[in-house]
A and B are shown apart, each in its own frame.
Chain A
Amino acid sequence: MSDYIIEAIKNGIWETLQMTFFASLFAYIGGLPLGILLYATAKDRILENKPMNFILGFIVNICRSLPFLILLVLLIPFTRFLTGSSIGTKASIVPLTIGAIPIVARMVESSLSEVSPGIIEAATAMGATPLHIILHFILPEATPALLLGGAINIATVLGYSAMAGVIGGGGLGAIALQYGYYRYQKDVLWTTVTILVIMVMLIQEGGNRIAAKARK
């Protein structure tokens, strides 16, 4: 591999990390409240609200069933509107975030569902408000599950970020595609793929350890 390619890969690692970090961060800013709402408005939960739960669930399901590649293309005008461009690292963060929000929301919902109904009953019997129950009973109890889900979600975002290379996003995915696939440079393809695999493994292992440590 030429020095030029090695430099590009180094740069790609940095871009991938940036995309993954910011897209995950924004996806949680949107997905965590959405997941809490999905959970709390479901049947027999503390803020049961059938119409709201149905509408939120419907939107989330539609977004989740769209293939990410299609979402990338569909979102090009929106991305351009937000960031002024539809290509590059910064622009990729937009579709990555939108694509990850419903995934995060479902993961949060399922983590919260694991909290024992007895805990919620105890909190209700204490006279706590629904908001207090969510903040001081449900979220703390679900923390280990949320952390574990977080690792899975970040790894998913990282995988998606590679796909953003198709429409001109940056990062390792773009390098793998342009040099490895279009130009038949197998060594570049395998190097970038190996780096991606290692990154996913590190994220998953780190998440597992943090979650295990949090579990009392």
Chain B
Amino acid sequence: MAKVFRLDHVTKTYKNDGKEFTALQDVSLSIEEGEIFGIIGMSGAGKSTLVRTLNRLEEVSGGSVSFYGEELAGLNAPQLRKVRQKIAMIFQGFNLLQQRTVLSNVMQPLRIAGVPRVDRKDKALNMLEVVGLADKQNQFPSRLSGGQRQRVAIARALASDPKVLLCDEATSALDPKMTGEILDLLKEINRSRRLTIVIITHEMSVVEKICDRVAIIDEGKLAEVGDVKEIFRNPKSDAARKLVFPSNPYDPSGKDSRLVRLVFDGLAASRPYIAELVEETGLKVNILSANTKSVGGIGYGQMVVELPRKPADQDQVIRFFRDRDLSVQEVERV
């Protein structure tokens, strides 16, 4: 598959009052054609800066970013504008023109691309139909809900037939229901148009719902990158573990007791392991938290349990789960 973006050792530093601040440090990754690629991190981790290097809204301080093999830093202003027309972007704050109708907003990129006036309207209406808002064409954005505004922004982004869509916290200002609708729409567009999508988010739920691969950014560095299912099953970096396993809010009975996290996926999620443990070994564990969810259509669950007191019993429990191919990880006390 063709690489849409390729980042090689990208570094970005800002100078502020003589003080240097590193927003990105040695980030290398590539984004494949047709995939939905997530970039997740806490706020301030550098993910917004990272996505802006993809269309050169941010200049890199070191390393290189290329788009279909073409290095962005080497482009002059007119060339860069041409490339930007192929890289659409939507934003947390929608960034629609408040003083223009929905239809006029969607027509903007077509005007920039030099599409003849007569064709602009048809094309824009077509896009509004794709996002289900053709009936709102003459409304002004202030009359629309947040979800509808983001749909208009998506229609606007798609109007000029981009190769890739960058989403900068596109659902962060929306309630869960609207977030779900927007994500479904993005997934649908990804499938029907084979459009590559890059999603910046701080919410793991967004990644697990639609992303194929994910990069985890922590303090400007790439902590981990890979298949979403694989990272859910077996997060390697601390940053990934923090995102995949929400911190355990329950206070175990004894301060010195040992906690482990069990991770199930696919078939394993449908077997009653805890009951089997009790039946076969007679040892009991205390369940402190548990949840299951669907990641890319595969059942996935995790459970934090408190182990028995005796070290020998603890080892037996851990062996029991490991023998059944469950992932067992120590949980650190906060």
A residues whose Cβ falls under 8 Å from a Cβ of B: 116, 118-119, 121-129, 132, 136-137, 140-141, 143-144, 214-216
Contacts and interface: CB of A to CB of B under 8 A. Distances in A.
Contact of B100 (A121, A126, A132, A140): A140
Contacts of B111: 132, 136
A128 B97 CA distance: 14
A124 B57 contact: yes
Contacts of B88: 125-126
A121 B97 CA distance: 12
Interface of B: 55, 57, 80-85, 87-89, 91, 93, 95, 97-100, 108-109, 111-113, 140-142, 160, 166
A128 B142 CA distance: 24
Contacts of A215: 99
Given A125-B89, A127-B83, A129-B81, A136 B108 contact: yes
Contacts, number: 65
Nearest to A117: B95
B179 to A, nearest CB: 20
Contacts of B112: 126-128, 132
Contacts of A116: 93, 95
Contacts of A126: 84-85, 88-89, 108-109, 112, 160
Interface centre among B84, B99, B160, by most chain A C-beta atoms within 10 angstroms, is: B99
B142 to A, nearest CB: 6
A118 B87 contact: no
Contacts of A137: 97, 108
Contacts of A136: 108, 111
Nearest to B139: A216
B9 to A, nearest CB: 24
28 contacts: A116-B93, A118-B91, A118-B93, A118-B95, A119-B97, A121-B91, A122-B89, A124-B57, A125-B84, A125-B87, A125-B166, A126-B88, A126-B108, A127-B80, A127-B82, A127-B83, A127-B85, A127-B113, A132-B111, A137-B97, A140-B97, A140-B99, A141-B99, A214-B99, A215-B99, A216-B140, A216-B141, A216-B142
Contact of A125 (B57, B98, B142): B57
A128 B55 CA distance: 13
Contacts of B97: 119, 137, 140-141
A143 B84 contact: no
A122 B95 CA distance: 6
Contacts of B80: 127
A138 to B, nearest CB: 10
Contacts of B142: 216
Contacts of A128: 81, 112
A214 B142 CA distance: 13
